[in-house]
Structure 1
């Protein structure tokens, strides 16, 4: 680790002296891109983060939003708060897929704990190189195993997410994990230190040497030898200790013992403790040798910056310290009183030998946390793609797109996750959105998470707008209204103007659509320098969006033969060649074509609101959004062994009608088609596609061609991942 020359000059000017080795390392980590957002913070003001539902916005460990008043019957007397957080563990998951992904889960769960919340649901959005490459499959299997092991052990259900394969992730996969928790006004805790004289108490696992320099490691391109050379920067997780920490935190919060809290993540104890006191405009005095350790002869810098997992830093009133110790002992967790909050500088001392105490850090906490200068980087506007459309037989194209790893079933992934632990999951993985039951308020919380690298690699700004609309459509298809979102903005090396141009575009696009949808972006994470010898990743704006509805029930994705009625498409069909643009589609990815990205609906907010209303109507039997893979994939996904579809598309452009991926569209099986048309009048076109049958076959007449697939054939085509890995 080394502090950049320009940063060192700034630090020397502020301190009036050369920094100590520990100070230099602390500045190097806390001023890294990973912690300070030096290249991205100037852009993030584009996001609208306010709203009457927002209790705690960006800047804390997790955001907090209040659920609206419910017409349902809840079990609690207080208004329910939901916490939302998301983080990336990209570089660690390349170096060590299992531990890198597992500790990503652990970190976002502790972010939830630090707000006084109990974690109730996880999502994971994963991005890898092409599926047919052995290294991609190795990373994929290891990451999924790490997530499932950690999440299952701690008893927090993984209820949704996404998986994408794209050649530009070959040298740098992405692992983005989001967590939702529950709390209320009385339980709410923040990371803002409250009062000089309060004690700083470290609770959890002992500190070792793992994860040293993790923040700086995450702020540089991956080298070709990263899998061996950077392994010490990867943390090692212990989910059983995390489960104990979850339950201990619950007792501490219930008893009102916590004044402020921060989990130990990037930059370890130094990061957590300095940020906590800086938020309160205060300082601290920490005696580093008091930290409980699991390895002998650790020096001050190692204790300060190690990113050992399953640790929390609490601000505790002096009279409550003994009770905190009792609770920690009850849960077999380590507990150290490491110092106290002060009204001075952030000071760390270390006694290596009895009577030989040295001051290793003495800096202004605010300067340490906020003093990093922002980068002023060049921007190249993303280029627009040419139109080069392949000529492919429609039946062959349907088979190819259905069997693509991107649109194929992800059952191999989510069957490894315990998505029902906690008995809140009403709708689990494999649907448009998950729903977890918030019994405290009698409401269902719909959760959708993901991005679309095919979209944002072709059109970063429009693709990002489409991602926001797609996630909102997912929750609306379950009858929920969008409430709030958090984002994980992933990009390559921002010092490259074309890369930074793409990153800037996804920020603008995501911000624009979220504001259009009146969905505040209440928090998030930025991960840059996702660049390797194989090149930069596509700009990837993962969005985790939650919506809310009264009750926990939702229309299914699959059609129901007994319900009868019509199958309607709400949104642009693309019957004529001029209507559909295939840019970003899986169809073009399979057949090496290119095109402009499709235009988005004129009034996306009205579409989402109307879809949620229609989804909750008594006459609605099934709802499924249309996006990845286009209409062909969505129709196939609705078919079961007992229920099929007979549809007709009078299209002069079969490929456009079947495969364009404009979001903001949905398929609706309804017994009251006129009611649906009336609801969407002036909002979106409504087209009758056909009827539901009882033969378990998708029979689609497209122009002068007929495509027929039985449910078993569809399952076989969509089992690409299962067939390869099981």
Structure 2
């Protein structure tokens, strides 16, 4: 590890001396892109993070949003991209552990996880190796700690070959009385470290996450990857609950990026305070650890608590009850952030860090980078046989069933899951508020690769449509903004586009973006990743029931929201169809009034006459129709318009298929909001018949299931 020359000059100027080795390493990590957001922070002001239900917005370990006057939810998202390339199992597992501890530090109990995963082409053996290891790591950790994984997404794209993405979101539950933040409260309060012992794993993880992956990263960067212990995390979850129940915590921060140095300095910096930490008091699992290692190790399952002196002994008792380590490592002060260690020879204490905490946390200069707007793709449409195209798109790993993934996750533990994975959105029963909490998460690399700004707008609308399809209205969102090396103008231009597009659509939907994460330098010898915004959005509804995705055996099928058909301007840009047949096109135009569309769709989904609702997006109408058919109920539909391929395969979000007993009522509800097209009717049996004018596509539920089992069939 080494501090950049320009940063060293700033540090020397501020300290009026050369930094110690520990200080230099601490500045390098806390001023890294991963921690300081030096390239992205200038852009993030585009997001609207305020709202009447927002209790805690960006800047803490997780955001807090009110469901009602008493019940709060927490919402956070993190990336563990580079570690998951180097060690897919531990990299992904510790990503889960980290976002769960972010939830704990707010005084909340974790109730749901969601994961969005991005890999190289599915038929590449290394991509499969990473995919299998990541899913195993997530399932192992989540299942062991007893937190259900209820939603997520998986995408395959050639540009992730050298740098997969692992984005994990967590939802927690708390109340106004139990709420804790990461801001230190009072000088004289003790800093207490609770959890696993500190080792040498994860050293330099923050700086490792802030640089391109080298060709030898899988071997050379292995020490920067943490090793998780989910059983210790489960004990930490329950211990944290007890500590919060007894009101023993003044503030809290989990130990993630930059380890103890990052967590403890950030706590006091938020309050413009300082701390005095005696590093040799930290309970350690390896001998002869030096000050720098103790400060920066990212060993997992550790929390730093601010505790009033009179409560320290009770905190220690609770830690011992749960078989967790506990060290009183220092106290909050009004001075600098100071770390000392006892010299073995003299027995005197040596000061290894003595800096202003606010300067350490906020002093990094922001980058002023060049940006190039990506060019709009020229239309180059393939001329594929419609039946062959239907088969190719439905069986693509991107649109195929993800059952192989989510069946490895326990999605029912905690008995809150009303709608689980495999649907448009999950629904968790928050009985404390008598509300259903809908959760949708994901991105769309084909979209944002083709058109970063419009694609990111579409990602936000797509997640909102998923939520509305279950009868819920969007409440808040968090984002994980993934990009390549921002020092490349074209890469930074694409990243700027996804920030602006996501911010614009979320504001249009009156959905505050209350927190998030930025992961840049996702660049390898294979090149940069596509600009990839992952959005985790929650919505609320009365009750816990929702219309199913699958059709019943009788009723009319309507398509709502298709702007392209209404304007006779169907665009295929970003679609799986073009990815399969090597074409290009402009990105689809989005609805004129997306907020009204989402509100209306949520209301219609909750009507008694509504039998099924399914959003139309990835894979277009072809995939949505295929997913709705069951062994007991089929569909007979006629494609509108003069372009069967465009109608079947374009991927404009903000559309939904609605099966209803009252088509007139649906038309009335959407009158003046969005176009409504009658497609056909449901039938007995499991056949899907698509009349495309001069040709007909016919298949059945069993054949569709076999085609959509691409991932299961290949990996088993």
For the aligned pair, the TM-score class normalised by the smaller chain equals over 0.9
Say whether the 8 Å CA contact 1:577–1:656 is kept in structure 2. Answer: no
- SS across alignment from 1:542: strand
User: Which residue matches 2:702?
Assistant: 712
Say whether the 8 Å CA contact 1:385–1:595 is kept in structure 2. Answer: yes
> 2:681 is matched with which residue: 665, 688, 691?
691
- SS across alignment from 2:173: strand
Say whether the 8 Å CA contact 2:92–2:137 is kept in structure 1. Answer: yes
Q: Are 2:403 and 1:416 equivalent residues in the alignment?
A: no
User: Which residue matches 1:255?
Assistant: 246
User: Which residue matches 2:299?
Assistant: 308
Q: Are 2:374 and 1:382 equivalent residues in the alignment?
A: yes
> 1:404 is matched with which residue: 396, 402, 406?
396
- SS across alignment from 1:554: coil
User: Which residue matches 2:606?
Assistant: 616
C-alpha separation in 1, matches of 2:675 and 2:381: 26
Say whether the 8 Å CA contact 2:77–2:168 is kept in structure 1. Answer: yes
Say whether the 8 Å CA contact 1:104–1:177 is kept in structure 2. Answer: yes
How far the C-alpha of 1:324 sits from its partner, in A, is 0.2
User: Which residue matches 1:72?
Assistant: none
Say whether the 8 Å CA contact 1:212–1:302 is kept in structure 2. Answer: yes
C-alpha separation in 2, matches of 1:599 and 1:651: 17
> 2:494 is matched with which residue: 473, 485, 502?
502
User: Which residue matches 2:179?
Assistant: 188
How far the C-alpha of 1:565 sits from its partner, in A, is 2.0
Say whether the 8 Å CA contact 1:90–1:175 is kept in structure 2. Answer: yes
- Deviation track 1:592-613 (CA, whole Å, cap 9, x = no partner) reads 0000000000000000000000
Q: Are 2:428 and 1:459 equivalent residues in the alignment?
A: no
Say whether the 8 Å CA contact 2:559–2:657 is kept in structure 1. Answer: yes
How far the C-alpha of 1:650 sits from its partner, in A, is 3.5
Q: Are 2:215 and 1:224 equivalent residues in the alignment?
A: yes
How far the C-alpha of 1:649 sits from its partner, in A, is 1.1
How far the C-alpha of 1:578 sits from its partner, in A, is 4.6
User: Which stretches of structure 1, 4 residues or longer, exceed 3 Å deviation after superposition?
Assistant: 573-578
User: Which residue matches 1:368?
Assistant: 360
User: Which residue matches 2:200?
Assistant: 209
Say whether the 8 Å CA contact 1:574–1:656 is kept in structure 2. Answer: no
C-alpha separation in 1, matches of 2:177 and 2:565: 55
Q: Are 2:427 and 1:445 equivalent residues in the alignment?
A: no
Say whether the 8 Å CA contact 1:191–1:260 is kept in structure 2. Answer: yes
Say whether the 8 Å CA contact 1:493–1:536 is kept in structure 2. Answer: yes
Q: Are 2:303 and 1:296 equivalent residues in the alignment?
A: no
User: Which residue matches 1:16?
Assistant: 16
Say whether the 8 Å CA contact 1:575–1:653 is kept in structure 2. Answer: no
User: Which residue matches 1:102?
Assistant: 93
Say whether the 8 Å CA contact 1:576–1:651 is kept in structure 2. Answer: no
- Deviation track 1:502-545 (CA, whole Å, cap 9, x = no partner) reads 00000000000000000000000000000000000000000000
C-alpha separation in 1, matches of 2:618 and 2:555: 26
How far the C-alpha of 1:460 sits from its partner, in A, is 0.1
Say whether the 8 Å CA contact 1:487–1:544 is kept in structure 2. Answer: yes
- SS across alignment from 1:27: helix
C-alpha separation in 1, matches of 2:276 and 2:524: 40
- SS across alignment from 2:85: helix
> 1:322 is matched with which residue: 281, 294, 313?
313
How far the C-alpha of 1:648 sits from its partner, in A, is 0.6
> 1:124 is matched with which residue: 111, 115, 129?
115
- SS across alignment from 1:593: coil
User: Which residue matches 1:277?
Assistant: 268
User: Which residue matches 1:672?
Assistant: 662
Say whether the 8 Å CA contact 2:563–2:591 is kept in structure 1. Answer: no
Say whether the 8 Å CA contact 1:588–1:594 is kept in structure 2. Answer: yes
- SS across alignment from 1:464: helix
How far the C-alpha of 1:652 sits from its partner, in A, is 1.5
Q: Mark the runs of 5 or more structure 2 residues left unpaired by the alignment.
A: none
User: Which residue matches 1:74?
Assistant: none
C-alpha separation in 2, matches of 1:150 and 1:682: 48
Q: Mark the runs of 5 or more structure 1 residues left unpaired by the alignment.
A: 69-77
User: Structure 1 residues 280 and 576, CA, compared in 2 at 3 Å: closer, same or farther?
Assistant: closer
> 2:713 is matched with which residue: 702, 705, 723?
723
- Deviation track 1:309-332 (CA, whole Å, cap 9, x = no partner) reads 000000000000000000000000
C-alpha separation in 2, matches of 1:492 and 1:283: 35
User: Which residue matches 1:625?
Assistant: 615
C-alpha separation in 1, matches of 2:265 and 2:82: 25
User: Which residue matches 2:543?
Assistant: 551
C-alpha separation in 2, matches of 1:525 and 1:580: 34
- SS across alignment from 1:29: helix
Matches within 5 A, 1:646-657: 646-657=636-647
> 2:160 is matched with which residue: 162, 169, 179?
169
C-alpha separation in 2, matches of 1:534 and 1:647: 44
User: Which residue matches 1:639?
Assistant: 629
User: Which residue matches 1:48?
Assistant: 48
User: Which residue matches 1:473?
Assistant: 465
User: Which residue matches 2:581?
Assistant: 591
Q: Are 2:680 and 1:703 equivalent residues in the alignment?
A: no
TM-score scaled by structure 2?
0.99
C-alpha separation in 1, matches of 2:566 and 2:30: 54
How far the C-alpha of 1:575 sits from its partner, in A, is 4.7
C-alpha RMSD over aligned residues: 0.8
TM-score scaled by structure 1?
0.98
